[in-house]
Amino acid sequence: MGKLMGASVKRVEDLRFITGKGQYTDDITLPGMTFATIVRSPFAHANIKNIDFSAAKNAPGYVASFVGGDIPEAIAGVPCGWQVDFKNGDTMKEPPHPLLARGKARHVGDAVAVVVAETQAQAKDAAALVDVEYEELPAVVNISAALKDGAPQLHEGVPNNCIFEWELGSGMDVVDSALASAAHVTKLDIVNQRLVPNAIEPRCAIGDYDDSRDFHTLYTSSQNPHVIRLLMCAFALGLPEHKVRVVAPDVGGGFGSKIFHYIEEALMVWVAEQIKRPVKWTAERTESFLTDGQGRDHITKAQMGFDSDGKMVALKVETDANLGAYLSTFSTAVPTYLHGTLMQGLYTTPAVHITVNAGVTNTAPVDAYRGAGRPEATYVIERLVETAAAEMGVDPAELRLKNFIPPFDGSENQPGYQTQVALQYDSGNYEGVLNRLLEMSDYENLKKERDTARANGKLMGIGFSTYIEACGIAPSAVVGSLGARAGLFEAANIRVEPTGSVTLFTGSHSHGQGHETTFAQLIADDLGIPMENVLVVHGDTDKVPFGMGTYGSRSLAVGGSAIVKSLEKIKAKGAKIAAHLLEASVEDLDFADGKWTVKGTDKSVAFGDVSLTAYVPHNYPEGLEPGLDETSFYDPVNFTYPFGAHMAVVEVDPDTGKVELKRFICCDDVGNVVNPMIVDGQIHGGVAQGIGQALLEGAVYDESGQLTTASYLDYALPRADDLPTFELDRTVTPCPHNPLGVKGAGEAGTIGSTPAVVNAVVDALRPLGVKDLQMPLSPQRVWAAMQQAK
Amino acid sequence: MKVSMTVNGTAYEHDVEPRLLLVQHLRENMGLTGTHVGCDTSSCGACTILVNGETAKSCTLLAVQCDGAKIKTIEGMATNGELHPIQESFREKHGLQCGFCTPGMILSSWQLLERNPKPSEGEIRHAIEGNFCRCTGYDNIVKAVQHAAQQS
C-alpha cells in the first residue's frame, strides 16, 4: 500500500458542486426539447371510465398526449427484478406495472395519462385540463388487512393481494420447541413504519430519439444506468440495447430510491420516439412523495428465548411486508433475502426462523431504502435483546457480550460463521466494537449519570444497538439461485493513455459517495502516479463497460475489486514491455513508485515510458498487442459483513414528551478504509437517516389511501438542529475474500442507529412503566405512552 | 412583463410571464443551473440565493417581484476565480456529498457569517435549519461553517 491508501484526501469532485457547475438531469436542456406532465390518479383505487383531452388539446403550446391504450399491448410495463416463490413451491404472483394505467388506478399518484407541451408551465396547464372520469373503489393500505379475506383486491390473479409466502431458517417446529423450553421468552409486536427516502434532487428523465440513426438516449437521475438500460430494453420497451444510451449525470442523492426502473423513464423514451422531439419530465416534490420507491413498512411479531444462563436459544419472527401497489425492481428481495437472512444478528442463537408474507396495497411501491431489509432485521433483533435485558434484570451490554459469535478472521483456522439463515459471515470481532463503544461512551460513568438524573426526576435513557449487515452485493450465482434476474458483478476499464495518464471507466455510479476521489486514490497509489493524472468516468452506458451500479454498499467492495483486477492486468502487461526495454526478464523486475526496476540494480523504466511504448510500439516485445487498456469484471465470492455498535443517550421532556438526543456514539467496522474522511461522511449520513426514522419520519396513508405526508410540511425530515454532533470511531477487521479487504460503509449508520435511539427512549421511560414504543417517537406519541403508563 | 435585475454583477432584462418563479428565471432564462429546485413549499432551501444581500428562497419569489434587484447565486460566490472561504471550507471539511443542497447551504452559511462572524454550534445549526441535506447528517456542514468562521 502506498501513501494515498488510508489518507483523507479532499474530494476532486467538490469543485464543480461548490461553484454551481454540477450537472444534474434537470440542468440539461436539449434543442427542441418539450416538457411532459403526468396526469396522476387522485384516488387510491379507482376504475378509469373515461379520459377527455378535448380542452387540453386546445391549450397553448400543446404538443401531444397519451393514455395507456395508446401504448402497444406488447409493452406490458416495467419488470420486477427478483422472483421470490411461495414456500410451498408456487410461483410468485407478478401483476403487471404498465407505463400508464390500463383501466384502473391502484394508488394515489398512479400514472393515468401524459401530456406534452412546449414549456413546462404549458404542460402543467394542459394537464390540468384533462378530464378523467373515475369510479372510486374501496382501498386498503395496511398490509395485514390487505392479506385478509374480504379485503379490496388490487390485481387480477393475485388472490388476497398475496405476492408470496416465504420462510427461512432452522424450521418453525425447531424454533417453537426451543421457545417452549426456554427459561425466558421476550415478545414484541413491531411496526417498522414506512419511510420516504427523500433524495433532495427530485427524479427527472429526458427522452431523446434520433430517427436518422434509430437511436434512443435517456438521461435519468439513476444509481445504475446499465441496469436501467437492460430492464428498459429487454423487458419494458423491447428495444435493442446497442441502440439505446442511458446517461445518469450528477445525481442528487439516491439512498436506494434511484435504483429502480421507473415508468417515467420508459415513458419518456417511448414518447420521444412518438413525437420525434426530446421530452423532459421532472418530478415535483409531492410527485416524489407519491411515486418514488418508499421504504420499510413491515408489521412483525417476534419472540426471543433465553436459557436460565441468559444464553439465546431461539428467535422466531413473523413479518407481513407491504410492497405497495406494484412490484418495484428489487421490492421482493428486500423483505426476504436482505432481511430474513440477517436474523442471526451477531449472536450464536442455535434456532432461528422467519416467515414473510408479502402483498400489495393501494400505496406507492415499496423497495430498497438505505439498508433495505437489514435495518428492519436489526431493529427486530436489537429491540428484543434490549427488552429481554430489562426483563431479566441484566445489563444490555453484558447480555450481548455473553451471546456474541466469538471473533474470527475468516482464515482457515478461523473460518466464516455459518448462520441458521443461509449466510456465511466472512470475518468479525463483535465484542471488539462493543467494548470500544463502552470505552468511548465511558459507560460506567454514564450509568451513574443516569442514576443521578433519575434521582433528580429527569428522564434520561441509554440505548444500545449492535448490528451486522450483508453488503458488497453480490455473488451472481448465489443470488441467481435465490431468484435474482441479474448478475451482480461490477466492471472496470482502465485506459492508460500514451503519455501515462489514466482514465477509469467504472460501472459503479457516484451520487455523493466520492468515487471520483476514492477510485483515483486506489489507482494512483498502485501505479505510483499523481492522483491528478487519474480521471474517473461513470454514469454513461456509451462510455463505461456494462456495470451494475451503486447500492447495497457495493461500490468499493465489488467495483473497487474490479479496478484492482484491471490494475493487475495493466501491471502484468506493463512488466512485459518494461522487461523488453530493460533487456531483462519479467521475473527480475520490481514495480514500485511508478517504475519497473531490475532487482539489485539502478536500471529502471518509468510507467510513462512503458505506456508510450505500448502506443508507439517500435521497440516492442514480439507477439504482444499494442496498447495499455484493460477491462475486468469482478464477481464477488461472498457478501461482505460490516458490523458495529451504536449508542444513543437521550433525555425526554416529562411535560411534552419531546426527545432530546444528547449524544450519539458509534464504533463501526467496515473492513479496510481507503479514505477515512469519506467513510466518516457515509456513517454520518446513515446515522442521521436512522435517527430520522426513530424520532421524526413516517409516511402516513389515511384509510382512503391518501398520503397525508406528501410534502416537507408534513413529512419530518431531520434538520440540522434535530441532530447532535456524532462521536465516531472504528475497528478494522479486513474482509478476507476481496483484494482490498473492504466491506462497505454506505448503509452501516442507518442500520445501527435506529434501534439504539428507540432503546434509549424506552430506557428513559422505563421507570414510568413504559415497556415499548412504536416509531417515530414523536412528542405526541411519547407523551401519550407516558400518560398511559401512569 | 418586463423585468430587469443584476445577477452576479451582470445586468439582465427579459420579458416574462407574471407567474414565472425567480428560480425558473435564473435557471431557464440565464442558464444559472447552480440554483436547484428540491421542493415547491419553501422547505428544502436548495434554491437559496441572495436578493439585495439577504437570503431568499427563489422558488417562492416571482421573477417580477425582483425587478431592479441585485441578486447573487452560487455562480457569483467566487471572485476572479478565487473561491470564497465558505466554498473552500465545504471542500476542506467534506461538507458535501451529492452536492445538490450545497449551493443553498453555502449561501445560507454566508448570511449567517455576515450577521454573526463567530457563531456557536447551536447558532450554526439553527441558521441552516431551513436547508435540507440528506447526505451528510449536517455534521461536516457544521464543521465547514466553523472552519470558515475561523478563516475570517
Do the domains at A17-137+201-252+258-291 and A489-634 have one common CATH topology? no
Q: What is the DSSP string of A527-558?
A: HT--GGGEEEE-SBTTTS-S---S-TT-IIII
Cβ pair A720:B34 closer than 8 A = no
What is the C-alpha to C-alpha distance for residues B14 and B87, in angstroms, rounded to an integer? Answer: 30
For residue A120 the three cell numbers come to 413546462
Please give the Cα distance from A81 to A721 (Å, whole number).
39
Asked if B94 lies within 8 A of A681 by C-beta distance, the reply is yes
Cross-chain Cβ contact B94/A713 below 8 Å: no
Q: If one looks up domain B85-151 in CATH, what number appears?
A: 1.10.150.120
**H helices present in chain B, as ranges:** 22-24, 85-92, 102-115, 121-127, 139-151
**In 10 A of CB A644, how many CB atoms?**
30
Q: Which three cell numbers stand for residue A548?
A: 451494475
* pLDDT at residue B129 in the model: 97
C-alpha A25/C-alpha A663 separation (Å) is 38
Contact between A689 and B46 using a beta-carbon 8 Å cutoff: no
Shortest distance between the Cα of A677 and any Cα of chain B, in A, equals: 7
Identify the CATH number of the domain defined by range A17-137+201-252+258-291: 3.90.1170.50
- From the list B99, B124, B137, the residue facing A723 with the nearest CB is B137
| pLDDT category of residue B148 using cuts at 50, 70 and 90 | very high
Q: What is the ipTM score, two decimals?
A: 0.98
Using a CB-CB cut-off of 8 Å, the residues of chain A touching B97 are 253, 512-514, 681, 685
Write the residue in A18, A27, A286 that is nearest to B96 by C-beta.
A18
Sheet holding A104-105, edge to edge: A104-105, A46-52, A131-136
**B99 closest CB neighbour out of A22, A255, A726:** A22
Q: Are strands A417-418 and A424-425 parallel, antiparallel or unpaired?
A: antiparallel
CB A104 within 8 A of CB A27: no
Residue A600 burial by CB count (10 A; 0-12/13-18/19+): exposed, middle or buried? exposed
Asked whether the beta carbons of A235 and A327 are under 8 A apart, the reply is: no
What is B70-113 written as a DSSP string? EEE-GGGSSBTTBPPHHHHHHHHTT--SS-SSHHHHHHHHHHHH
Q: What is the pLDDT at residue B114?
A: 97
Disruptive mutation site among B135, B136, B141 for chain A (greatest number of A CBs within 10 Å): B135
d(CA A119, CA A129): 16
Q: What H or E segment, with its residue span, contains residue A727?
A: strand A726-730
Rounded to a whole number of angstroms, the distance from the CA of B10 to the nearest CA of chain A is: 17
A646 and chain B: CB distance < 8 Å anywhere? no
Chain A residues in contact with B122 by the CB 8 A cut-off are 721
**Quick one: which of A723, A721, A716 has its CA closest to A780?**
A716
- Give the sheet arrangement for strand A34-40, strand by strand: A62-67, A111-117, A34-40, A279-282, A204-210, A215-220, A244-247
Q: Kindly indicate whether the domain formed by A295-474+638-789 is annotated with CATH number 3.30.565.10.
A: no
**A194 in B contact zone (CB under 8 Å):** no
Contact A384, A302 (CB under 8 A): yes
How distant is the Cα of B107 from the closest Cα of chain A, in angstroms? 11
Residues in chain A: 790
Minimum CA–CA partner of A719 in chain B: B129
Query: What's the pLDDT tens digit per position in B32-78?
Result: 999 999 998 999 999 999 999 999 999 999 999 999 999 999 999 99
> Is the pTM above the cut of 0.95?
yes
Q: How far from B19 is each of A197, B7, B22, B42, CA to CA, in Å? A: 31, 20, 9, 16
Alpha-helical segments (H) within A332-429: 374-392, 396-403
User: Could you say which residues of chain A have pLDDT below 70?
Assistant: 1-2
Give me the pLDDT at residue A2, please: 67
Q: Does A721 touch chain B (CB under 8 A)?
A: yes
Query: Does domain A489-634 correspond to CATH entry 3.30.365.10?
Result: yes
Residue B19: closest C-alpha in chain A: A121
- Residue holding cell 526495454? A581
Residue-wise pLDDT tens digits, B97-143: 999 999 999 999 999 999 999 999 999 999 999 999 999 999 999 99
Q: Does B38 contact A285 at a Cβ distance shorter than 8 Å?
A: yes
Q: Where do the domains of chain B lie?
A: 2-76, 85-151
Residue A260 is classified by DSSP as S
B106 interfaces chain A, CB cutoff of 8 Å: yes
Strands A111-117 and A62-67: antiparallel
pLDDT recorded at residue B45: 98
Separation CA A57–CA A36 (nearest Å) = 14
Query: Domain segments of chain A: what residues?
Result: 17-137+201-252+258-291, 295-474+638-789, 489-634
Under a CB-based contact definition with an 8 Å cutoff, are residues A343 and A354 in contact? yes
B41 with A712: Cβ contact below 8 A: yes
Q: Given B75, B133, B137, which is nearest A19 (Cβ)?
A: B75
- Name the residue of chain A whose CA is nearest to B135's CA: A685
Give strand pairing partners of A661: A650
Distant-in-sequence, close-in-space partners of A611: CB < 8 Å, separation ≥ 6 = A496, A497, A498, A499, A500, A574, A628
* A/B interface, count of CB pairs below 8 Å: 178
Number of C-alpha atoms within 13 angstroms, CB side, residue A252? 28
Kindly state whether B99 is in contact with chain A, defined as any CB-CB distance less than 8 angstroms. yes
Query: How close A288 gets to chain B, by Cα (Å)?
Result: 9
pLDDT at residue A434 in the model: 98
The answer for A 119-178 residues in CB contact with B (under 8 A) is: 120-121
Number of other residues whose CB lies within 10 A of the CB of residue A204: 24
* Residues in Cβ contact with A2 at an 8 Å cutoff, skipping those fewer than 6 apart: A524, A525, A526, A528
Domain B2-76 CATH assignment equals 3.10.20.30: yes
Residues in B touching A514 (Cβ below 8 Å): 97
Residue A45 in contact with residue A705, Cβ under 8 Å? Answer: yes
- CB of A280 within 8 Å of a chain B CB? The answer is no
Which residues in chain B have their CB less than 8 angstroms from residue A292's CB? none
